[in-house]
Chain A
Amino acid sequence: MTPAGALVRATLLLLGAVLGVTLAARHLSPLPDLLLVVVASAALRAGPRTGLLTGLVGGWLLDLLPPGSAVLGTQALLYAVCGLAVGALRRPGPVSVVWVVLVIAGVASGLEVVRGALALAQGVPVDVLSSALRVLATATVGLVVVPLVSAVERRSERRRFA
């Protein structure tokens, strides 16, 4: 990956994390997981290792961006596993949008299940309906954002060699 591509990806991750935190303060619901969409875009484009690294960096942003997470590194590991999973499901060549949406919905559901299990283990009740709506919103946003992010990253790399 070129430095320009890495910069674009880092900017997108920061944008996704900051928007996620600040839009939640506006109490918009259901709010899609924008960070997961950016991580999934990178993983679908470049494979499991890039997905893992992008997820790790994105998760660390969420861990450190105020108010952060209860234990540092939990979001980093969660998103790294998500990136790895999406990268492993990557198909060579052009893929249908249905496949992209299914992959993002699947990985978003997995994330919600793990977060729900962690919350229940700590004695915090969970809201299943809001989780389902968040998965739906994330998959829907992924439908638009994944091709867009891929195009932006491809363009930034092409400009490097122009």
Chain B
Amino acid sequence: MRGDAADRRRRRLVALAVVVTCALLVVDLLGGPGTGLLRRGAATVLGPLERVLAPSGRADEDELRRDNEELQSALRQAEVAGRESAELSALLASPSTAGARVVPARVVGVGAPGPQGVVRLTIDVGSRDGVDVDRTVVASGGLVGRVASVAPWTSDVLVVGGPEVVIGARVGGAGALATVGGATAAATGRDAGELGLTLVQTGTLTVGDEVRTLGSVDGRPFVPGVLVGRITAVEPQRGRLAPSGTVEPAVDVGTLSVVGVLLSPPRSTPRAAVTGGTSGGTSGGTS
């Protein structure tokens, strides 16, 4: 009798847990309140755990006790430090970061595994490092994604190619406006990791054209001019208004370890007006 009551109570508990999960899923799907707080709280508690377990090249105390392993760990440390140092140098020397304030960061976590590849990742810098939401994240090759949420010690990044990242872009020398990513094109015609691109209006796409970010107000979420990738295929128009194509991303997120968060300050002074035709309008006018 008592066993039956306990069993019923347990069954009710399980049902309640499932109902609460479904309710939270619906609330989050509809963008309701509370879920952001839940994420931030979890990131504040669990983020430091990920930072500790991140690839850092530090050796355990136990390893250092034995000479042989000490040498191995020193070698590994030097290799990782060297690799990260080289990646950081490449990042700071790349055109993506030229003139910008950059917060260097390491990738410490990657989202749930699945056939879609890497669409979310965690970096080891947060609000205490000056990072906030909707900042551009770059690597030495080009665009990685944008900051989606920030905790004191870590930040979550939505990666280019994921369903939640849609980028306004300029294509080729002419600078045709286009949309990259999101559900702009059917996913079945592309290989994993490739991005779909659709021009905003009629224009021409050529294989090999560079795709760069168009930029947003105050550089958030994307600063202008960062390389997104190159066009690898142009699809036949077949009744569509604007041509579309496939972009190979400039950055392989599957091998990322060092990234940079760009902190572009918002414009605070009004832009001065100039009179047209007074400078640079005639040949030799700029001398």
Contacts and interface: CB of A to CB of B under 8 A. Distances in A.
Interface residues of A, number: 49
Contacts of B157: 67
B115 A31 contact: no
Interface residues of B, number: 65
B114 A66 contact: no
Contact of A60 (B21, B115, B121, B163): B21
Majority SS of interface residues in chain B?
mixed
16 contacts: A24-B113, A25-B108, A27-B256, A64-B38, A64-B42, A65-B50, A67-B109, A76-B21, A80-B18, A116-B114, A122-B187, A123-B184, A124-B162, A125-B187, A125-B194, A130-B192
B185 interface: yes
Contact of B10 (A25, A26, A49, A127): A49
Interface of A: 18-22, 24-27, 29, 31, 33, 49, 52-53, 56, 60, 62, 64-77, 80, 112, 115-116, 118-120, 122-128, 130-131, 134
Contacts of A116: 114-116
Given A25-B107, A73-B24, A120-B187, A66 B47 contact: yes
Majority SS of interface residues in chain A?
helix
Given A72-B25, A112-B115, A123-B196, A22 B156 contact: no
Nearest to A130: B115
Contact of A119 (B29, B38, B116): B116
Interface of B: 10-11, 14, 17-18, 21-22, 24-25, 28-29, 35, 38-39, 42-43, 46-47, 49-50, 53-55, 107-122, 148, 151, 154, 156-157, 161-164, 182-188, 190-194, 196, 254-257
Nearest to B46: A65
A27 B22 contact: no
B163 A71 contact: no
A120 B110 CA distance: 20
B186 to A, nearest CB: 7
A65 B42 contact: yes
